[in-house]
């Protein structure tokens, strides 16, 4: 196995010999597990948790493999490797998820040991992307680039990734465990709806610490996380998390699948009791053994050092001129380009939501194109967002026009990033055996209704998020307009919620009324938007208007007078 090194400045963790040895051992273990399953030495009941902890699901059409993209960060050679794997072992396309991972939907069990070996050769894996264990730690797609960033969350995401990898005590939890971290108060990682959400910050002395939220989650019983500590110092991060996990492992329910998440323990088992238990455990284990050594933080940090930014003026003449001269470019730039902390640079969102396409899907060829562009324009790294898009984080403003032309030529230039047609749909009943209804075609229909760019700009920030079942992989609870597919007497129906948002002061959407058949549901979304446009005051986003006028007018518009 020849290992490829990431481009020198790519902001990904660099594996060394020991990390690779570990990965090889994992691949060997998995190979043995598959052989034992095929021979019958392992029953399906025994094998299932083991394969889930290697990202392998049995889905509607075939096995699905969920490959880990730690905190959404990819080096270009890794993205190319995923493209190769998609061509060789799947059908030449993959799907980015709301946890920054990649899914292939046409996988064969018997091929997976080889696939794991190919992943290992590019320092990748599918470890713990499913199962009742600690999952991918997710973060802000603009980490290391955003002007409002206080602490680079990738450093701690990587530390927690390592800490949680085959943790001997916490690999057989009552249920899955999801951690997200933000380094900015403008939370782009949805930390309030994770089992543990971390807000990295600094105190007056400039030291790094974390506000810790516990017990957030979506699904059947959505909850926002509760702040259990306003300050856990950097050195105590591991000890504090061990304490939380230990309390959960001991006291989380194991008798009822639907009450097994930590959110139930926190919100239904007594918040203060939970906090007291955690603090007691933390006090017990705090000490040299669990202390996060600053030398380790430093060593990890070196992987995320800023790339060698050129000294550029904050304002790019070339960028400005291109916007003036090319209207299409200007529209794209308006939505896809964000400010960067380094003068003269920008962060670019690549929308994977072409009108009428499949949200979040990407072909192997497109992966290669993005990799080439990232090499050329963004120091060899690519990020995956939790809204199923990609980001090139460090692009010179001078290069934006050339970048856009190349993206556009590859079908990756849809200028809808952050607009209403930049919606989230889970794979839904088209792919997923858990689903009650299809999501993708509803999303496509909504996109077509709102395809007009002018109208989209006018509507502005309005996130639509759709899930095909209550498991909420599409994060519908967090949509300004949320759509949940349900099964009503064997037919696909859709329930609409309003007012969700994934920001730090997050909110779970409220149900508008009874579930609707597909056409009516799409009509309803248009009606909701029309009502917003009618009633809004200057400067109000949809969420603002909704907050001001309440659900009443929307209920009435959709369902008639109460």
Partner 1 sequence: MELKAITANRLRDGAVVWLGPQGDWVERVELAAAFDDAAAKVALAEAEKSAAANVVVGVYAFEVEVVDGVPKPLRQRERIRAQGPSIRTDVGKQADALDRAA
Partner 2 sequence: MALLKEGQPAEDTWTHVTDDAPVPANGAITVSAARWAKERQELAGRSAPLGVRLGSADRPESVAADLGRFALVTVDFPKFRDGRGFTTARTLREHYGHTGEIRAIGHVLPDQYQMLRRCGFDSVVVPEGADLAVWAAAHTQYTVAYQAAVGDEGGPLSLLRRRFAKAG
Q: In terms of CB distance, is 415 or 443 closer to partner 1?
A: 443
Tokens of 270: 């007594």
Asked if residue 70 lies in contact with residue 126, where contact means CB atoms within 8 angstroms, the answer is no
User: Of 25-33, 72-80, 191-199, 528-536, which segment contacts partner 2 by CB under 8 A?
Assistant: 25-33
Among 8, 14, 32, 461, binds partner 2 (CB under 8 A): 32
> Any residues with CB less than 8 A from the CB of 95 and at least 6 apart, and which?
102, 103, 104, 105, 358, 360, 361, 362, 388, 427
Output 24 or 527, the one with its CB closest to partner 2: 24
Site for partner 1 (CB under 8 A): which residue of 28, 60, 150, 331? 60
Cα separations (Å) of 433 from 67, 104, 136, 394, 429? 19, 15, 22, 39, 7
Work out whether 29 is an interface residue with partner 2 (CB under 8 A). yes
The entry of partner 1, partner 2, none near residue 148 (CB within 5 to 8 angstroms by kind) is none
Binding mask 105-124 for partner 1 (x = CB under 8 A): -xxxxx--------------
The token pair at 449 is 């209704």
* 298 lies in the binding site for partner 2 (CB under 8 A): no
Min separation Cβ 156 and partner 2, Å? 11
Q: Specify the residue, 62 or 166, whose C-beta has the smaller distance to partner 2.
A: 166
Yes or no: say if 392 and 378 are a contact pair by the CB < 8 Å rule.
Answer: yes
Cβ neighbours of residue 46 under 8 Å, at least 6 residues apart? none
291 binds partner 2 per the rule CB under 8 A: yes
Q: How many CB atoms lie within 10 A of CB 350?
A: 25
Identity of the residue, 277 or 336, whose beta carbon is nearer to partner 2 in the bound complex = 277
* Long-range contact set of residues 23-26: C-beta below 8 Å, sequence gap at least 24: 23/120, 23/123, 23/125, 24/120, 26/116, 26/120, 26/125, 26/127, 26/166
Instruction: Choose, by CB under 8 A, the member of 1, 8, 25, 550 that binds partner 2.
Output: 25
Sole window of 165-173, 395-403, 509-517, 543-551 interacting with partner 2 (rule: CB under 8 A): 165-173
Member of 7, 9, 22, 87 binding partner 2 (CB under 8 A): 22
Classify strands 93-96 and 102-107 as parallel, antiparallel or unpaired.
antiparallel
Least spacing, CB of residue 492 vs partner 1, in Å: 6
Q: How far is the CB of 322 from partner 2 (least distance, A)?
A: 45
Phi, psi of 169 (to 5 degrees): -95, -25
3-state secondary structure of 488: strand
Would you count residue 136 as binding partner 2 (CB under 8 A)?
Answer: no
Residue whose structure tokens are 């849809």: 414
Helix (H) or strand (E) holding 282, with range, is helix 271-285
Q: What is d(CA 398, CA 221) in angstroms, rounded to the nearest whole number?
A: 48
Select from 215-223, 289-297, 506-514, 547-555 the region that touches partner 2 (CB under 8 A): 289-297
> What distance in Å separates the CA atoms of residue 511 and residue 430, rounded to the nearest whole number?
25
- Measured from the CB atom, the residue of 108 and 284 that comes closer to partner 2 is 284
Site for partner 2 in 315-374 (CB under 8 A): none
- Based on the shown chain and the rule CB under 8 A, indicate whether residue 166 belongs to the binding site for partner 2: yes
Cβ(200)–Cβ(223) below 8 Å? no
Q: Is 440 near partner 1 (CB under 8 A)?
A: yes
State the Cα–Cα distance between residues 250 and 198, nearest whole angstrom. Answer: 22
Q: Is 33 in the site for partner 2 (CB under 8 A)?
A: yes
Q: Which of 25, 29, 44, 526 binds partner 1 (CB under 8 A)?
A: 44
The span from the CA of 413 to the CA of 403, in Å, is 10
Q: Where does this chain bind partner 2 (CB under 8 A)?
A: 18-19, 21-22, 25-26, 28-29, 32-33, 36, 41, 46, 49-50, 132, 159, 162-173, 238, 246, 249-250, 254, 284-285, 288-293, 296, 299-300
Q: Where does this chain bind partner 1 (CB under 8 A)?
A: 37-40, 44, 58-63, 91, 106-110, 358, 429-431, 435, 437-438, 440-441, 444, 490-492
């Amino acid at each position: 196995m020849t290992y490829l090194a990431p481009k020198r400045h790519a902001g990904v963790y660099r594996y060394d010999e020991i990390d690779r040895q570990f990965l090889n051992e994992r691949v060997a273990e998995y190979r043995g597990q598959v052989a034992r399953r095929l021979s019958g030495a392992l029953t399906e009941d025994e094998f299932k948790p083991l394969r889930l902890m290697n990202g392998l699901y049995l889905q509607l059409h075939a096995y699905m493999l969920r490959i880990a993209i730690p905190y959404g960060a990819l080096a270009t050679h890794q993205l190319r490797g995923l493209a190769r794997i998609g061509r060789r072992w799947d059908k030449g396309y993959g799907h980015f998820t709301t946890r920054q991972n990649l899914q292939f939907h046409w996988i064969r069990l018997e091929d997976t040991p080889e696939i794991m070996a190919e992943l290992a050769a590019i320092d990748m894996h599918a470890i713990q992307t499913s199962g009742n264990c600690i999952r991918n730690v997710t973060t802000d797609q603009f980490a290391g680039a955003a002007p409002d960033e206080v602490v680079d969350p990738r450093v701690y995401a990587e530390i927690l990734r390592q800490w949680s990898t085959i943790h001997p005590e916490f690999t057989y939890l009552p249920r899955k465990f999801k951690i997200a971290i933000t380094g900015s108060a403008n939370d782009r990682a949805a930390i309030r709806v994770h089992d543990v959400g971390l807000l990295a910050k600094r105190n007056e002395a400039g030291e790094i610490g974390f506000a810790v939220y516990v017990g957030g989650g979506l699904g059947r019983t959505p909850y926002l996380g509760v702040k259990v500590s306003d300050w856990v110092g950097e050195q105590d991060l591991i000890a504090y998390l061990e304490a939380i996990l230990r309390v959960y492992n001991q006291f989380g329910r194991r008798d009822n699948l639907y009450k097994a998440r930590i959110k139930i323990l926190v919100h239904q088992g007594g918040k203060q009791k939970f906090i007291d238990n955690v603090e007691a455990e933390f006090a017990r284990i705090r000490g040299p053994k669990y202390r996060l050594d600053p030398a380790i933080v430093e060593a990890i940090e070196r992987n995320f050092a800023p790339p060698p930014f050129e000294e550029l003026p904050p304002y790019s003449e070339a960028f400005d001129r291109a916007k003036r001269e090319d209207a299409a470019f200007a529209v794209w730039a308006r939505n896809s380009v964000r400010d960067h902390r380094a003068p003269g640079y920008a962060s670019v969102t690549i929308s994977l939501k072409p009108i009428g396409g499949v949200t979040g899907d990407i072909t192997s060829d497109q992966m290669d194109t993005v990799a080439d562009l990232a090499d050329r324009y963004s120091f060899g790294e690519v990020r995956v967002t939790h809204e199923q898009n990609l980001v090139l984080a460090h692009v010179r403003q001078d290069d934006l026009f050339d970048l856009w032309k190349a993206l556009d030529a590859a079908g990756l230039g849809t200028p809808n990033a952050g607009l209403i047609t930049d919606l989230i749909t889970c794979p839904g009943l088209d792919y997923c055996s858990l689903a009650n209804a299809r999501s993708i075609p509803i999303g496509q229909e909504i996109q077509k209704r709102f395809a007009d760019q002018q109208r989209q700009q006018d509507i502005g920030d309005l996130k639509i998020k759709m899930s095909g079942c209550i498991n909420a992989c599409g994060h519908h609870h967090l949509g300004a307009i949320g759509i949940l597919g349900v099964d009503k007497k064997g037919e696909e129906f859709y329930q609409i919620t309003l007012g969700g948002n994934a920001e730090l002061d997050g909110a779970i959407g409220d149900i508008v009324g009874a579930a609707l058949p597909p056409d009516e549901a799409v009509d309803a979304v248009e009606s909701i938007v029309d009502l917003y446009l009618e009633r809004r005051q200057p400067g109000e986003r949809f969420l603002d208007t909704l907050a001001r006028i309440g659900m009443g007018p929307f209920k009435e518009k959709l369902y008639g007078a109460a």
